[in-house]
Chain A
Amino acid sequence: GAGVSQTPSNKVTEKGKYVELRCDPISGHTALYWYRQSLGQGPEFLIYFQGTGAADDSGLPNDRFFAVRPEGSVSTLKIQRTERGDSAVYLCASSSAGGGNTEAFFGQGTRLTVV
């Protein structure tokens, strides 16, 4: 497709379970971002990839969160031992250059609910 695609669109999981959220960026985009958005808040930065490597993971809240982008395109955000406080919309965005100055295109998000 032409845009950023995220799957699943909705995920309900039990507290303590493991989840994986997938992001398919726009083809050719080298920069990929993960954000988390809670109700009534702005997107909160989690991690930034430039190609295959995590250029900045300073936004990950703790070591239960991990993300990979092994081939420099699709990325997976992994959350272990989920907690109710992890419930949010997880947004992925990609852009064509990692040097800034370019538009970030967002996916539609994955709504994660931990019960």
Chain B
Amino acid sequence: GENVEQHPSTLSVQEGDSAVIKCTYSDSASNYFPWYKQELGKRPQLIIDIRSNVGEKKDQRIAVTLNKTAKHFSLHITETQPEDSAVYFCAPFPSGGSYIPTFGRGTSLIVHP
């Protein structure tokens, strides 16, 4: 099955700084790469995703970059705000087999005002 790792496990930044979280995966057949945000006690929610035919996607302060050769994709948050504080999960999705997204262990982002 897919082996997914996220780094760092915890990230602490000052408000206004940028944050980058990296996700590495093992299944070269993966072709859909979402990032989920989970606030304390709440459900995971999709914040941005990318498909294997593009290298970068932006949505306001959030971007995702993909390196299929190296099998990693990264979440970039610029101008961080306290409400960005949450746990972020990557969940690469294979194109074959059972189509089951495998979640990383999560990155806890803390934005200090």
Chain A interface residues toward B at CB < 8 A? 31, 33, 35, 40-45, 48, 55-56, 58, 91, 98-109
Contacts and interface: CB of A to CB of B under 8 A. Distances in A.
Given A48-B100, A101-B93, A107 B43 contact: yes
Interface residues of B, number: 24
Interface of B: 31-32, 34, 42-46, 49, 51, 89, 91, 93-95, 98-106
Given A101-B51, A103-B34, A106-B45, A43 B89 contact: yes
Nearest to A45: B100
Given A44-B103, A45-B101, A48-B99, 9 more contacts: A31-B99, A42-B89, A43-B44, A43-B89, A100-B93, A101-B31, A101-B32, A104-B46, A106-B45
A70 B43 CA distance: 25
**What is the predominant secondary structure among interface residues of chain B facing chain A?**
loop
**What is the predominant secondary structure among interface residues of chain A facing chain B?**
loop
26 contacts: A31-B99, A40-B106, A41-B106, A42-B104, A42-B106, A43-B89, A45-B103, A48-B99, A55-B98, A56-B100, A58-B98, A100-B31, A100-B32, A100-B93, A100-B99, A101-B51, A101-B93, A103-B34, A103-B46, A104-B91, A104-B101, A105-B46, A106-B43, A106-B45, A108-B43, A109-B43
Nearest to B98: A56
A44 B6 CA distance: 15
B111 to A, nearest CB: 19
The 10 A-B pairs of least Cβ separation, nearest first, read: A56-B98, A42-B103, A100-B99, A106-B43, A101-B32, A43-B103, A100-B93, A42-B105, A103-B46, A42-B106
Nearest to A97: B99
Contacts of A102: 32
Contacts of B49: 103
Contacts of B103: 35, 42-45
A105 B105 CA distance: 19
Contacts of B34: 103-104
